[in-house]
C-alpha cells in the first residue's frame, strides 16, 4: 500500500494501548528487514532516517527506497524524519514526501524550542503531515546527535509546550539515552505517569535500544505510543556481516553478507514488535 502518515497509526495505538515500533534504517537491507518483519507479524511499522543518514545518501534515495518497498507491502508503513536538526531539513523532508516529521529543538531554551517547533507545525499542517517534537533532552550520543547527560521532561512544561506548538506527538526524556548503555538504564516510569496526566497526545520513547522489554511494556501502559530503536539495528546488521566475512575471507559478493545482516535485523525487529504489542495491528 502507499506510504501512510504516522498520525492515524499512533492515535490507534493510544486508543488500544499498544505502541508502534519506529526503526532507524541505513541501507536497502535494513529497509527490507523492517518491512518484512512487519508483514510477517501483521504490524504497522515506522521507518526513520536521522540527519547524518540523510547526509550520507540523500532524502530522495531513502524516500524512493522505502516508498518502493512499502507499495508492495500489506501493512501500513510510514517514513519519518528522526531528530530533524533544522527547519530547512524538516521542510526538505516534507517536500520529498516523508509522511512524518520530527523537529528537535530540545537543545534550545523552552521558548526557542516552541518557536522553532510551531514554525514546522505550521508548515506541515496544511499537508496533513504530523509533527513530533522533543522536550527535555534524551542523553547519550548517536551519529551527530549528542544529548550529553540529558535533562528530564517537566510535566508542567510539557503541557505548556504542547498547547503552544500544536504538535501531534511528544518525545519525552525519562531516563533513556541514545547509543549503547554502559549499565542498566534507569527509566523513570513515575515521571512518565505525571507527564501523561498533563498531556493528551501520543508520547514517544527515544533511546530504547538496550531497554528491557518489560520496561518498554510498562511505559506503553503509561502512554508511550511510539518506541524508537536505532543502535541495536546497527549492531545486528554489523554482526551478520561479520559472521559471513570472518567465516570465509574469499566471499566478495555483497548480497551474501548483506543477506545475513538483513536476517539478524529482521529477527531483532520481530522481537521488538512483540514487545510493543502491535502484532496483528497492521490494518488501519
Instruction: Decide if 273 contacts 21 (C-beta within 8 A).
Output: yes
In angstroms, the CA 196 to CA 212 distance is: 21
In angstroms, the CA 78 to CA 46 distance is: 5
Q: Which of 82, 104, 143, 232 is catalytic?
A: 82
CA diameter of the chain: 60
Helix (H) or strand (E) holding 80, with range, is strand 77-84
Closest CA to 32 of 215, 279, 259: 259
In angstroms, the CA 213 to CA 210 distance is: 9
- The reply to whether 144 belongs to the active site is no
In angstroms, the CA 275 to CA 120 distance is: 32
Which conformational region is residue 130 in: left (phi greater than 0), alpha (psi within -120 to 50 degrees), or beta? beta
- What is the side-by-side order of every strand in the sheet holding 145-146? 145-146, 139-142, 177-178
- The catalytic site residues sit at 82
Amino acid at each position: 500500500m502507499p506510504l501512510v502518515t504516522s498520525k492515524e497509526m499512533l492515535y490507534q495505538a493510544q486508543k488500544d494501548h499498544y505502541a508502534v515500533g519506529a526503526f532507524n534504517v541505513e541501507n536497502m537491507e535494513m529497509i527490507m528487514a523492517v518491512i518484512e518483519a512487519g508483514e510477517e507479524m501483521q504490524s504497522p511499522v515506522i521507518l526513520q532516517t536521522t540527519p547524518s543518514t540523510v547526509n550520507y545518501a540523500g532524502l530522495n534515495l531513502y524516500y524512493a527506497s522505502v516508498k518502493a518497498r512499502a507499495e508492495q507491502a500489506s501493512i501500513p508503513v510510514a517514513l519519518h524524519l528522526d531528530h530533524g536538526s533544522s527547519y530547512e531539513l524538516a521542510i526538505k523532508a516534507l517536500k520529498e514526501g516523508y509522511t512524518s516529521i520530527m523537529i528537535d529543538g530540545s537543545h534550545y531554551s523552552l521558548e526557542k524550542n516552541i518557536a522553532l517547533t510551531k514554525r514546522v507545525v505550521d508548515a506541515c499542517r496544511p499537508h496533513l503531515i504530523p509533527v513530533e517534537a522533543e522536550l527535555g533532552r534524551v542523553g547519550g550520543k548517536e551519529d551527530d546527535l549528542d544529548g550529553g547527560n540529558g535533562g528530564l521532561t517537566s510535566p508542567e512544561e510539557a503541557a505548556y509546550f504542547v498547547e503552544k506548538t500544536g504538535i501531534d506527538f511528544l518525545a519525552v526524556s525519562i531516563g533513556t539515552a541514545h547509543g549503547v548503555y554502559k549499565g542498566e538504564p534507569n527509566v523513570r516510569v513515575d515521571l512518565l505517569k505525571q507527564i501523561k496526566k498533563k498531556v493528551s497526545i501520543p508520547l514517544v520513547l527515544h533511546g530504547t535500544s538496550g531497554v528491557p522489554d518489560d520496561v518498554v511494556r510498562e511505559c506503553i501502559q503509561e502512554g508511550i505510543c511510539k518506541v524508537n530503536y536505532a543502535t541495536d539495528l546497527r549492531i545486528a546488521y554489523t554482526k551478520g556481516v561479520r559472521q559471513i566475512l570472518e567465516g570465509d575471507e574469499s566471499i566478495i559478493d555483497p548480497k551474501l553478507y548483506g543477506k545475513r545482516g538483513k536476517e539478524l535485523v529482521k529477527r531483532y525487529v520481530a522481537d521488538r514488535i512483540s514487545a510493543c504489542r502491535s502484532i496483528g495491528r497492521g490494518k488501519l
